[in-house]
Amino acid sequence: MAEVKSDIEIARAATKKPILEIGAKLGIPPEHLLPYGHDKAKISAEFISQQKGRQDGRLILVTAINPTPAGEGKTTTTVGLGDGLNRIGKKAVVCIREASLGPCFGVKGGAAGGGYAQVVPMEDINLHFTGDFHAITSAHNLLSALIDNHIYWGNEQNIDIRRIAWRRVMDMNDRGLRHIVGSLGGVANGFPRETGFDITVASEVMAILCLSTDLKDLEKRLGDIIIAYRRDKTPVFARDLKADGAMAVLLKDAMQPNIVQTLENNPAFVHGGPFANIAHGCNSVVATTTALKLADYVVTEAGFGADLGAEKFFDIKCRKAGLKPDAAVIVATARAMKMNGGVKKEDLGQENVDAVKKGCANLGRHVQNVKKFGVPVVVAINHFTLDTEAEIRAIKDYVATLGAEAILCKHWEQGSAGMEDLARKVVALAENGRSQFSPLYPDDMPLFHKIETIAKDIYHAGEVIADKSVRDQLRIWEDQGYGHLPICMAKTQYSFSTDPNLRGAPTGHTVPIREVRLSAGAGFVVVITGEIMTMPGLPKVPSSEKIFLNEQGFIEGLF
Amino acid sequence: MAEVKSDIEIARAATKKPILEIGAKLGIPPEHLLPYGHDKAKISAEFISQQKGRQDGRLILVTAINPTPAGEGKTTTTVGLGDGLNRIGKKAVVCIREASLGPCFGVKGGAAGGGYAQVVPMEDINLHFTGDFHAITSAHNLLSALIDNHIYWGNEQNIDIRRIAWRRVMDMNDRGLRHIVGSLGGVANGFPRETGFDITVASEVMAILCLSTDLKDLEKRLGDIIIAYRRDKTPVFARDLKADGAMAVLLKDAMQPNIVQTLENNPAFVHGGPFANIAHGCNSVVATTTALKLADYVVTEAGFGADLGAEKFFDIKCRKAGLKPDAAVIVATARAMKMNGGVKKEDLGQENVDAVKKGCANLGRHVQNVKKFGVPVVVAINHFTLDTEAEIRAIKDYVATLGAEAILCKHWEQGSAGMEDLARKVVALAENGRSQFSPLYPDDMPLFHKIETIAKDIYHAGEVIADKSVRDQLRIWEDQGYGHLPICMAKTQYSFSTDPNLRGAPTGHTVPIREVRLSAGAGFVVVITGEIMTMPGLPKVPSSEKIFLNEQGFIEGLF
């Protein structure tokens, strides 16, 4: 094997084309590309609205098994498949999420793919990029400031200051902000109250931006945000503080999708980044639907494993945006199968075919789950250099027993040359028109019944348990007209169950609901099972310690 | 008089040229202009470093009398003078500060000039612009997060958590964040402590960015920031937490000056925005020095009135960057003279020559002060439509008695056509080589003596009073090697004295020092007289309520 280069070295050595050329490949005229430097651009809202009525290309979802510390490479595979489709003569666009800034300074790990399947400029994408997340932070915190300001000046809306649901956000891993008492210091600073900060990707504004179809829709949804309750329990909306207009102004540019390129100079739309936990975790609706108008194939990914990510992609994003995916790719690795089969991380370098076979149960469950949505499935085995032929064979044989195919992919090492087989298979699946996509549950199913359906059909749980207060809350929302909303599950990504240590394919487990939250602007009900962390912390030795500008002014230490 | 258009209407009707054309006027090749859309760009650090050794153009400072509620139009005059110089055949660049986002949603008032003397695109400049302030917010808050994280993981540096000097910042008017208790909620969230947020422009990171000569200098200054003290009173630096490298990475793009254009398609560098109160309040050193390499004339402004803004421009920015201003323009208005002469705001529409004459004392003091720095002075009378000939005559006659000239300027109404006289006068002053600039006090004067020099020579105070603790602190800093630093005065901008209601030209007053702060990274000692507000609040009816996107997608309500 040749010397292994780091992701940032490979990215820096890339021969990038001017972004106007990349846009031209998709027929976007230069005046509709708003450049950010020479290698990033936004696609104008005007151009996007002009594409209405054009036929859509094929939509391919890339999802994965439950993540393990071994790493699966979902984004890498998404980027590699996009390049692979272009290689075999299809006009393909990759649609992925933007990276959150905060975590970059915590633990290493980029969000722009890896090896020879990356989007560039990776440093920019992982840092400020085109400022979308900063705009979301500003819009969110403007609303926060308006709430305390409203109370300060007389509280005309009679907001109950103990029942303010809207916190503040920052795109930083800062545990010291999770729980604060604000407005201290006397009369001039307002009325002291408990509150806190979430990381920006966890903001409902982020989810709204990613689900809105245009600026009008965005403004309406921003107005629909429930910020607090009055003493009589009636909700106070962002609209009641006249915040929606100014918030939409702050998000005007951020709503326009970003176009960059892969290492092989193919177009990639990097836009939106809702937390895959308390939100739906997908690339923006505007980016995906625009890409579908411009390309034969759109390859997009969903957050976490298929139990969380694909389910929300289908039941929230596709349902709401009217998208019909033509095929799904489930990413697996021999290493992850071994971990699911009980092997420890330090022993992953050893061949262990039995562990692979045992761990395949997790993969099998995901394959069968995705099929429940009527979408044809193929498994991508993301190749790692120490994988053995026998291990790969074991996965392929297992997947064949499910009536599907597993294809070895070497995009990390070879770029699109290692992706031809999967690309051809995806085309075959998509073009035979077998996809009969439909969401898991209908809109008019009662909210608790929707939760049970996900828990039983996708997680294979035995039962869902919830306090009377949770059930009552769901019923109140149904009475208020929110019963038609889909469910956004917040669950550990490491297991089908709510126990992160339960690998494989457990059945008959119990799903306890701790809390339910209404995201009235985004348009879903968040169901929280177990602890969820909406503001991460930094590790003992943060990676920021090793990030710096070298003598040439290049960034070092960022992946 | 024709129908008066709003600033945003005039700005929107502007015929903008592509920013690459504007850059070409200054000889900046397209590959060294990093576009942000088609009407904004950053100038590459590489191009800037290539200009070293070129001859500098002339530097003109625009400053003003003490601000009054009548409005003086300092930025408007700066922009108008730039256009005026271009009109009479000089290659001129305007260098102004960027706008802070937060205040846009509070009280109306733009930061991009007004009438027919504006820089465009004004909406962008007043909102996210090229993301510089967001980058500063991120860099500042990364350091904040690293401090609490360091303590959380064992506090190797023995930081005294009662003596942490570094707060957090947000670019929002949010009084609820002025004073908080953070890290609440139990063991996982750290050690509870009092802290708070300032607005981003008040960050020392902002001051550092504006005074740094290049990325190396920036990184060094970031490392020099004092974040806290140990139990033994020794300072803990940002460098001790290895924060400087990652902070510089976050600021890499923000360090590159932004180029936009005036309504008359002349280049304007809009870069940096340090609070004119607790910082020095000028356009960045990088922007100003780069402009001087590319133009015959650079017109720049300083914050507030000349007692604060010009003094800091001369004693901090020019001293540190080795700049030698060739002339200074002091902006005054007949309205402001009347207010200084005792007229109430509601009576400003009435002619009152006696009040103008009486109020001229304030202007006269500023003229004489600026001359103390060896810089030739001209007064610009920014014309308002209700000014009478007799009032203008009174100002002109008064200024003539000081051995200077006052020139009526109609740039707000006419653009550069109303600015020819001032432009010619400025050229005459600058080109006769009369400027003998030197700062007010030498580096090696003791810190307290520097403060007394400013108070007596500029404010015409009788004495400076300070507690022993303040004097001791200054001496400790001198012992630690900070005695050579200049002073950054924080004082009310409304008066030469520390009493905002004392207009005119008071003498013999007392300057009480409440507190001193060391900005070791920026490189100055902040001296606080009276209350200073580092986090503003919103008014009862914030202007955000009237800001929205209209049917065409244009921003309404922003000025």
B441 in any annotated domain:
no
Per-residue model confidence as pLDDT tens digits over B137-193? 999 999 999 999 999 999 999 999 999 999 999 999 999 999 999 999 999 999 999
Look up residue B355 and give its DSSP letter: H
| A498 in a known ligand binding site | no
A556 in any annotated domain:
no
6-45 of A, contacting B, C-beta below 8 A: 31, 34-38, 45
Complete DSSP assignment for A155-172:
-TT-EEEEEE---EEESS
- For residues B472-498, give the mean pLDDT: 96
Tokens 């992850």 sit at which residue? A336
Residues B11 and B122 occupy one common structural domain? yes
Q: CB distance A179–B184 less than 8 Å?
A: yes
**Active centre residues of A (catalytic):** 74, 76, 97, 108, 276, 304, 384, 412
C-alpha–C-alpha distance, residues A509 and A506, integer Å? 7
C-alpha–C-alpha distance, residues B407 and B425, integer Å? 9
A170 in any annotated domain:
yes
Residues B59 and B158 occupy one common structural domain? no
198-227 of B, contacting A, C-beta below 8 A: 215, 219
* Angstrom distances, CA of residue B186 to CA of A169, A176, A197, A532, B137: 20, 10, 15, 16, 27
Residues A477 and A511 occupy one common structural domain? yes
The tally of domains found in chain B comes to 3
Residues B244 and B175 occupy one common structural domain? yes
Q: What's A398-462 look like in SS3?
A: HHHHCCCCEEEECHHHHHHHHCHHHHHHHHHHHHCCCCCCCCCCCCCCCHHHHHHHHHHHCCCCC
Report strand pairing: A463-466 vs A510-513. parallel
- Residue in chain B closest to A150 (alpha carbons) equals B540
A441 in any annotated domain:
no
Name the residue among A138, A219, A545 with its Cβ closest to that of B101.
Answer: A138
C-alpha–C-alpha distance, residues A416 and A419, integer Å? 5
Q: CB distance A548–B185 less than 8 Å?
A: no
Q: What pLDDT is stored for residue A48 in this prediction? A: 98
B94: left (phi over 0), alpha (psi -120 to 50) or beta: beta
- The yes-or-no verdict on residue B292 having pLDDT over 60 is yes
How many A-B residue pairs are in contact by the CB < 8 A criterion? Answer: 217
Residues on chain A touching B135 (C-beta within 8 angstroms): 128
Q: What pLDDT is stored for residue B5 in this prediction? A: 85
- The two tokens of residue A102 are 């905060």
Evaluated on CA atoms B188, B192, B198, B204, the torsion sign reads: negative
| Regions of chain A with pLDDT less than 70 | 1-3, 108-110
A52 in any annotated domain:
yes
| A68 in a known ligand binding site | yes
Residues on chain A touching B100 (C-beta within 8 angstroms): none
Complete DSSP assignment for A170-200:
ESS--GGGSSEEES-SSGGG---EEE-EEEG
Give the domain extent around B247: 135-251
Q: What pLDDT is stored for residue A552 in this prediction? A: 86
Q: What pLDDT is stored for residue A1 in this prediction? A: 44
- The yes-or-no verdict on residue B282 having pLDDT over 70 is yes
CATH number, residue A480: 3.10.410.10
- Residue in chain B closest to A104 (alpha carbons) equals B246
Residues on chain A touching B196 (C-beta within 8 angstroms): 185
A559 in any annotated domain:
no
Q: CB distance B128–A253 less than 8 Å?
A: yes
C-alpha–C-alpha distance, residues A451 and A449, integer Å? 5
Residue A235, strand partner residues: A229
36-95 of B, contacting A, C-beta below 8 A: 36-38, 45
Name the residue among A145, A176, A538 with its Cβ closest to that of B183.
Answer: A176
B98 in any annotated domain:
yes
CATH number, residue A190: 3.30.1510.10
Per-residue model confidence as pLDDT tens digits over B262-280? 999 999 999 999 888 889 9
Q: CB distance A544–B135 less than 8 Å?
A: no
Q: Which of B8, B33, B36 to mutate to test the interface with A (most CBs of A within 10 A)?
A: B36
Residues A155 and A112 occupy one common structural domain? no
- Residue in chain A closest to B134 (alpha carbons) equals A134
C-alpha–C-alpha distance, residues B195 and B167, integer Å? 6
Q: How far is CA B403 from the centre of its chain?
A: 28
C-alpha–C-alpha distance, residues B268 and B261, integer Å? 5
526-545 of B, contacting A, C-beta below 8 A: 537-538, 540, 542, 544-545
How many CB atoms are located within 10 Å of the residue B389 CB?
A: 9
Residues A160 and A228 occupy one common structural domain? yes
B555 in any annotated domain:
no
- Residue in chain A closest to B130 (alpha carbons) equals A131
Type of residue numbered B294? L
Residues A290 and A420 occupy one common structural domain? yes
**For B318, how many CA atoms within 13 A lie in the half-sphere containing its CB?**
27
C-alpha–C-alpha distance, residues A457 and A438, integer Å? 14
Name the residue among B176, B538, B548 with its Cβ closest to that of A183.
Answer: B176
- The two tokens of residue A534 are 């909406």
How many CB atoms are located within 10 Å of the residue A552 CB?
A: 7
- The yes-or-no verdict on residue B453 having pLDDT over 80 is yes
Q: What pLDDT is stored for residue A168 in this prediction? A: 98
Residues B285 and B392 occupy one common structural domain? yes
- Residue in chain A closest to B127 (alpha carbons) equals A250
Q: CB distance B553–A250 less than 8 Å?
A: no
Q: What pLDDT is stored for residue A278 in this prediction? A: 85
Q: CB distance B250–A548 less than 8 Å?
A: no
Per-residue model confidence as pLDDT tens digits over B402-428? 999 999 999 999 999 999 999 999 999
Instruction: Give yes or no for a cis peptide into B121 (omega within 30° of 0).
Output: yes
Look up residue B424 and give its DSSP letter: H
How many CB atoms are located within 10 Å of the residue A321 CB?
A: 18
305-334 of A, contacting B, C-beta below 8 A: none
Q: Which one of A189, A221, A251 terminates a domain?
A: A251
Q: Does the beta carbon of B351 lie under 8 angstroms from any beta carbon of chain A?
A: no
Q: Which of B547, B551, B555 to mutate to test the interface with A (most CBs of A within 10 A)?
A: B547
A117: left (phi over 0), alpha (psi -120 to 50) or beta: beta
- The yes-or-no verdict on residue B1 having pLDDT over 50 is no
How many CB atoms are located within 10 Å of the residue A536 CB?
A: 19
CATH number, residue A94: 3.40.50.300
Residues B301 and B414 occupy one common structural domain? yes
Q: Does the beta carbon of B468 lie under 8 angstroms from any beta carbon of chain A?
A: no
Residues A74 and A98 occupy one common structural domain? yes
Q: Which one of A370, A399, A431 terminates a domain?
A: A431
- For residues B455-484, give the mean pLDDT: 97
Q: Does the beta carbon of B189 lie under 8 angstroms from any beta carbon of chain A?
A: yes
Q: CB distance A245–B45 less than 8 Å?
A: no
Name the residue among A184, A537, A540 with its Cβ closest to that of B180.
Answer: A184
Residues on chain A touching B128 (C-beta within 8 angstroms): 131, 134-135, 138, 250, 253
Residues B126 and B211 occupy one common structural domain? no
- The yes-or-no verdict on residue B69 having pLDDT over 60 is yes
A152: left (phi over 0), alpha (psi -120 to 50) or beta: alpha
Q: Which one of B227, B251, B275 terminates a domain?
A: B251
Q: What pLDDT is stored for residue B3 in this prediction? A: 67
Q: What pLDDT is stored for residue B2 in this prediction? A: 53
| A73 in a known ligand binding site | yes
Residues A476 and A415 occupy one common structural domain? no
106-165 of B, contacting A, C-beta below 8 A: 127-128, 131, 134-135, 137-138, 141-142, 144-146, 148-149, 152-154
Burial class (CB within 10 angstroms; exposed 0-12, middle 13-18, buried 19+) of B477: middle
Contact A181, B184 (CB under 8 A): yes
Contact B248, B219 (CB under 8 A): yes
C-alpha–C-alpha distance, residues A39 and A259, integer Å? 9
Q: How far is CA A346 from the centre of its chain?
A: 29
